[in-house]
Every structure is written in structure tokens, then in C-alpha cells.
Amino acid sequence: MIETETADPDEKLTPRQLSFLGFAVVLLVVLIRFWQTVFAGASISRVDMIPLWDSLYHGFKSSPPVGIEEGSILFMAPYHLMAAALWRAGEIPLWNPFSGLGAPLLADPQAAVLSPLYLPLLLSPDLYGYNLVLVLQLLVLAGGGFLLARSLGLGVPAAMLASLGLAFCPYNQWYLELLGSGYCLYPLLFYAFIRLAASPGFKNSLLVAVISSFLVVSSHPEISIGGLSMASLLYFFLVPDRQHLRASAGWFVLSGILGAFLSAPVLLPFLELVGNSESYKFAAAGTAYMKWDSLLLNLAQPGFSGASPFLGPVLLAFMPLSFLLFREKIWRAVMLTTIATVFIACKLPPLEQLFYHQPFNALVPSYFVPVLLLLLCLLGAAGFDAVLAGRLKLKLALSLVIPVCLAIAATRPALIASGISPLLFRCDLATAGLELTRIDWMVLIGAAVAICITLLGLVFFRRILPVAAIFLVTLNIAAQMLPSACALPVRESFDFNLVEPISKIKAAGGRMLALGPHLFKPNQNIVNGIFDIRYLNAVFPDRFVSYARASGANIDKFKVDYSLPLSSSLDPAGVRWILSERPIYSDSPAEEKMIPQLAEPILVGTIAKVSDISWQYHPGDRAIFGRLSFERLEKDSDFLIQFVLLGEDGGALWWDDSRPGASADQQNSMLFSVGLPEPGREVRVGVQFRDPLTLKALPVKTGLERQDDVVVLSRVSTIADTETGASGRYRLVDIDRYNRRLYENT
């Protein structure tokens, strides 16, 4: 399995020197791709999406949005920065005092408190250091891939093809900040298991334990599970025969014991945390997975742009040739492991049934995709190596490669001709729908033609083999560069600098609460050292969940959000500051003081009839507080309600967060508040209704004035007043020019 090469007297380089040169070239190619980050400090991290997501940064729009809320994508980066700051201060990062009522930090593997991968942050505990960590992970992925491929007996060109195919796979680059850093260790993990299978002994058993523990302390838990389970499966496929099974199992168990011991500082607290926590994943039943047809399409042509599981045309073209190596035990084991991984990652029957039973229902199949991509890279490189080494005849290779190249060329036209909606291939909310672009298609047609011509050239001119090998490796990288450039592009620089009014809160001290789904949340408080009653994670401690729900919080997957009216249960937690984009209240406004605004109902399509909108004006708060009531016309249909402020010129001055009709009470009624601008201005208050799926405006029937999609309810002239706030408990401290309001809990 781990093959060695004998030196040829005519060779200028020994096999070891050639291997070292190939390894160095692989790392150099990665460094050249990210030279701007390493040497010029250019940012490739997606933390620059925070300004797009967070209304604290009006006017700073630097990144396109993605399907999943950016706060969920970015909540891990602050943990790494916080842990680095604590290490530099000489403190072991055991506890996070800033989120919720305090939360474990060491026990959360996503924080990677003990991971050596984050050593650059100790030297540079800022966004530059964090960007270096991203590049380091790709270097580890590429270097480990080369080492793994060589351990499987592949030649240097094939090892370079596999390792660079991994490093430049758009999927692997895109998900560095979402799935966590751990999958960059997969090649090293598989390398250790293969060494143990080839040469059982304490030394290799310890190597497996060290790398396994390295993975556990550096990874999302499901990344660790995916890598360890598939590497273990490959290990047992490599057992020579039944006579060696007991000995192999013994070394495997020893590796597990040693690995558990080495990772115990993180593993044991994590198990305790999980045993005393709640998570949406405990009942998720494998909701996110890679659809098999999406996988095939993206292998042929990148359909998810920078998030595509695209390995390049050369790896794909030579992948079928690996099945001709089925008689070789090592490649038979890799193939069987690949097939098992496909069934899990794509949630195919019968293995899909596992995800409906505990404890497997807590696993997310899509976390197995990085393992699958690694195995597919190895198979493609194996077919490539078999041709270069002469183990497969070139004419036979051509007979299999040409159909694959034709399939690559036909993918886009076939999908267009089928009329199938690209949305059906979507696998992850973090990506857009499938889109096979014309540019990618034309590049791949050219690559497919080049592959066929190169193989034909080898049939007649075997001496060009070294040049052909280098050309095909380069061709694969070039084809991957186009989509992967969208995965980690150079972005606008952004740092977690304090902005108003957050700086006021930090200076004054005390715990804060920001209201609304897009206001100061992706764990920014951790970086800034601000106490926030909210908590952003996938696992919540039981006691915090009990308190949060008792104090009126809404807990949804990663998020803890509060809505109005605010509960007095926030007081024992020391919540001093409330930051909101709309006026707050702790009690329902007095119904008898409300003024009706509708002379007749508003029909919202065929879904609902809004029967009443009433409010009262509070000059001291520069706000109106009211209630909206409606009658459902269709039980199973919903709609979004959004209040808007229009200026004298008809432009929108402010808009509230959209709220679904389903969030209303049992009487189909909901409270609302609208902040008004500075005194002396006349504004119009309006409401609009949208489809919750398409976000398009719903048709309405009303006799009221219309401004585009907005139904104008009333004109309001703001006046100056010193009246106290809507509730005596909250004192309005400041309103900035973006209508953000800071209240103090008195």
C-alpha cells in the first residue's frame, strides 16, 4: 500500500527529491494564489458581509447576500479571535462571559481553543491573522493531500493533481468559514489510518491518535464524526484477511483510547455540554444533504459558483479509469469507502433511514461532502496515474475518457433543453440556486478537447509523457480557478471596530439587548467585549434556554431573539441597555387611546382581510404604538407585514422588519411600533404585504392612497415634547440619524 520507488541511474533527481519538489510546488501554487493575503494583507474572509447584514453599517455594502442569514455563517470567527486574545493575555479560554448568561468556550469544539491551526492568531490577533489561518488551512489540505496520494503509491504528477484538486475545489474554499477548519486535516487523517493498516504497531497507532485528536480539537463535531467514521471504514477494508482482523481491531482500539485521552480536555467538556443542552439538530433528521443529481452536475460543471463541489475536468475524466483498478486491494477499499460516503452524504436509501433514528438524527449528511470530495480526488488521480505509469493502455483510456468529455460538453445544453428548474438542485441555503454559466461551459469544452488531444498525442508520441502530465495538472487547476475565484476573492477590509451607539454601551458598562434580526449580532459582542443577553450558536445550555424562554425570547436554530413587549424578567439578568430600530414598550398600549386608521378593510390577495389598524401617538418617544388585526381567508397561506415611513417626496425614510402573519396572537392581532423622525417634519405611515417565499408584493384592494406597493395609512406631523417614554421602565437616551434608538432600563 505504501510503495517506494527505486532510483533510475539516468534520472537527475532521486524519487525522494522528486517527491519533495512536487510537494514544494503544490504549496507554492497555493501561496501564489493567495499572495495578496499573505504578503499584502488583503482580506478573503467573509466577515465583510457583516456590514451588508447589519444595519449598524448603513451605506457599507460590499458583498452579495446568500440564502442563509449571514449571522449564522459568521458566528465562529469571533470565537477564534476571542480565544487568541485570552491566550495572549495568559488566560486559558475556558469560559465566554459575554454571551447569554455566560457559556462554555473550551467545551465548544467550534471555538477551536486548543487547535494549532489558529497559531497565526497568537502572533497577529486581528483580521489579518484570521485571514492567514484560512490560507494555512488550504496549505494543510494541499500538503496533506499530496502526502496521502504518495502513500497510496501514486506518482508525483498524480499526487499533485489530487492535492491541488482538493485545495482549489470551490466547495472546500467556500465552506472554510461555515463548516469549520477541520476537514483540511482529512488527508492527514486518512494517511495515518493507511499507515496503520500497512504497518500495524504502536508508532503508527500513536500517529492515528495524534491526528484524530488534532481533528477533534479543531473541528465542528460533525466534521470530526464524518472524517473519523470514513477513515475507520477504509482501515477495516484494508485488513488483509480474517486472520489479521483481531490484531487490526486491537490497534484500532488502542488508537481510539489514545486519541480520546489526547482530546479529553475538549471532548469531555463537550460531552457534558451536549448532555445538558438543547439544539435544533437533536431532531433535525439530516435535513441538509447533497442531492446526487446536484453532485453529478457540479462534477461536470460548477453550478453553485464559488460553492461548487467541482474537482476539475481532468480528475473527472480519469475517474472512471480507477474502476479498472478494482482488483488492487487498496483501490477496492477506496472505492467501497467512496460508495458508502455517497450514500450518506447524498442521503440515499437504505442509509437515509439512519437519520430518522437517534442518535443519527443529529447528524447533518452534508458534513460528509468534504470526505467524499477527498475520496473522489483520489480515484481520479488513481486513473490518471494508471495511464501515466502504463498500467492501462492508452486506447482503453481514450475509450472511457472521451464519453466523459462528451458528457461534460453536453451537461449545460441538456439541462436547458430539459426545462428542469435549477432550484430543484439546490442543496444548501448558504448557496444560490444552480446556474450553469456559458463561460464555464465554454472553458470546459476547451478543456475536454485538450484532454482528448493530449491522450491521442501520447498514443503516437510516448516521449511527451512528462510534458503531457504537467499540462494536464495545469489544465485542471486553470479550470478550477474560474469558480474558486468566487469562493475566496479579495474583499473589502473590515474589522470589528466599535461604532455608535455600541461604543457608548461599552463605555457605560452593563448587559445589552439589541432588538431585530439584523442588528449587532453575529457574535460581534464577543470580539468587542460587550455583554449581550442573546446567544448565537447551534447548542444552547439548558438553563439558559429555560431563562430565555421565560423572559420572552424566541429560539430558532442558531438564534436567540427578543420581540416586543419586553418582559420584566430581563431585569434580574442585568439588562441595562436596549438597542432598537423601532420604539420599544414593555406593556400593551392602552386600547382606549388608540385611533382607528382604516375606514374600510384591506384585502390582501385571497389570503387575508386586514380589518383594523389603530394607533396612539407618543411625542416624547417620537413614535406611534398600535395594533393590527386581520381575518384569515386561506388557512394554509401566510403573508409578511411591514410598516414603512414615507417622506414628503415619496421615498422610504424607514422600514420595519417584516413579520409573518403567523406571528400574530390567537385573535390574529399583533402589536407594532413605528419610530418617527426629528420634530418639525410631516411623514406618511404606510404598510405593505409580501409573499414570504418570493418576497414579492401581494396584490391588495383598498380605497386608501397607494405609493407603489405601500398602502398609505395616515400623515403624521412630528412635534417636540418632553413626555416620558412609552414605559416608565425604559428611558430614551439617544436617536441617531438612522433612527436607531438607545434606551436605558431604569
Report whether pLDDT(397) > 50.
yes
* Mean pLDDT score, 509-529: 87
How many other CB atoms are there within 10 angstroms of residue 630's CB atom? 24
Which is more confident, 721 or 38? 38
Average pLDDT, whole number, for the chain? Answer: 87
pLDDT of residue 263: 95
pLDDT of residue 595: 86
Provide the grid cell at 593.
387611546
* Mean pLDDT score, 374-387: 97
* Mean pLDDT score, 412-421: 84
Tell me the one-letter amino acid at 144: G
At 187-218, the pLDDT tens digits run: 999 999 999 999 999 999 999 999 999 999 99
Q: Residue 686, SS3?
A: strand
At 559-582, the pLDDT tens digits run: 888 888 888 899 999 999 999 988
pLDDT of residue 3: 47
The span from the CA of 588 to the CA of 727, in Å, is 10
The span from the CA of 701 to the CA of 606, in Å, is 10
Structure-derived torsion over alpha carbons of residues 664, 669, 670, 672, reported in degrees to the nearest 10: 150
**Which residues in 166-261 belong to E strands, given as ranges?**
none
Indicate the range of 218-232, 544-558, 718-732 predicted with least confidence.
718-732
pLDDT of residue 740: 85
At 23-34, the pLDDT tens digits run: 999 999 999 999
At 272-320, the pLDDT tens digits run: 999 898 887 776 655 788 889 899 999 999 988 888 999 999 999 999 9
* Mean pLDDT score, 718-725: 53
- Of 208, 215, 369, give the one whose Cα is nearest residue 286: 369
- Of 314, 505, 345, give the one whose Cα is nearest residue 408: 314
Per-residue pLDDT band for 722 (boundaries 50, 70, 90) equals: very low
The span from the CA of 256 to the CA of 251, in Å, is 9
pLDDT of residue 29: 97
Q: Residue 719, SS3?
A: coil
DSSP 430: T
239 neighbors 247 (Cβ within 8 angstroms): no
CATH 2.40.50.100 fits 591-725, yes or no: no
Report whether pLDDT(182) > 80.
yes
Give the DSSP H or E segment for 258: helix 245-262
- Of 244, 246, 265, give the one whose Cα is nearest residue 254: 246
Q: Left (φ > 0), alpha (ψ -120 to 50) or beta: where does 574 sit?
A: left
DSSP string, 492-530: --------TTHHHHHHH-SEEEE-STTSS-SSHHHHHT-
Phi/psi for 91 (5° steps) reads: -115, 135
pLDDT of residue 67: 56
Report whether pLDDT(6) > 80.
no
Cis preceding linkage at 359, omega within 30: yes
DSSP string, 76-144: SHHHHHHHHHHHHTT----EE-SBTT-EESTT-GGG-TT-GGGHHHHHS-SHHHHHHHHHHHHHHHHHH
- Of 564, 297, 336, 339, give the one whose Cα is nearest residue 436: 297
308 neighbors 345 (Cβ within 8 angstroms): no
At 624-664, the pLDDT tens digits run: 888 999 999 988 889 999 999 888 777 888 788 788 998 88
List b or e across 65-98, with b for residues whose CB sees 16 or more CB atoms inside 10 angstroms.
ebeebbbbbbbbbbbbbbbbbbbeeeeebeebeb
How many other CB atoms are there within 10 angstroms of residue 603's CB atom? 16
* Mean pLDDT score, 413-437: 77
In 389-464, alpha helices (H): 394-418, 438-460
pLDDT of residue 7: 44
Is the Cα dihedral 395, 149, 197, 3 positive or negative?
A: positive
* Mean pLDDT score, 346-356: 86
pLDDT of residue 402: 93
At 671-699, the pLDDT tens digits run: 888 888 777 778 889 999 999 888 889 99
pLDDT of residue 59: 53
Report whether pLDDT(343) > 50.
yes
pLDDT of residue 110: 84
Q: Residue 741, SS3?
A: strand
* Mean pLDDT score, 402-431: 83
Report whether pLDDT(710) > 50.
yes
pLDDT of residue 60: 54
pLDDT of residue 10: 47
Alpha carbon 336 to its chain centroid, in Å, reads 29
183 neighbors 221 (Cβ within 8 angstroms): no
Report whether pLDDT(467) > 70.
yes
Indicate the range of 206-210, 266-270, 355-359 predicted with least confidence.
355-359
- Of 489, 495, 478, give the one whose Cα is nearest residue 37: 489
The span from the CA of 281 to the CA of 621, in Å, is 42
pLDDT of residue 352: 83
- Interhelix angle 156-167/127-151, rounded to 10 degrees, is 150
The span from the CA of 336 to the CA of 328, in Å, is 12
The span from the CA of 122 to the CA of 83, in Å, is 9
At 587-614, the pLDDT tens digits run: 766 666 788 888 889 999 999 999 999 9
Structure-derived torsion over alpha carbons of residues 469, 471, 473, 476, reported in degrees to the nearest 10: -140
The span from the CA of 215 to the CA of 163, in Å, is 19
182 neighbors 215 (Cβ within 8 angstroms): yes
The span from the CA of 614 to the CA of 628, in Å, is 7
Report whether pLDDT(5) > 50.
no
Report whether pLDDT(546) > 80.
yes
The span from the CA of 603 to the CA of 596, in Å, is 17
pLDDT of residue 298: 92
Give the DSSP H or E segment for 382: helix 369-388
Provide the grid cell at 480.
478550477
The span from the CA of 429 to the CA of 321, in Å, is 34
The span from the CA of 560 to the CA of 533, in Å, is 9
Indicate the range of 99-113, 161-175, 203-217, 356-370 predicted with least confidence.
356-370
pLDDT of residue 361: 80
Annotated domain spans of the chain? 16-75+106-484, 496-587+727-746, 591-725
Report whether pLDDT(725) > 60.
no
The span from the CA of 681 to the CA of 694, in Å, is 34
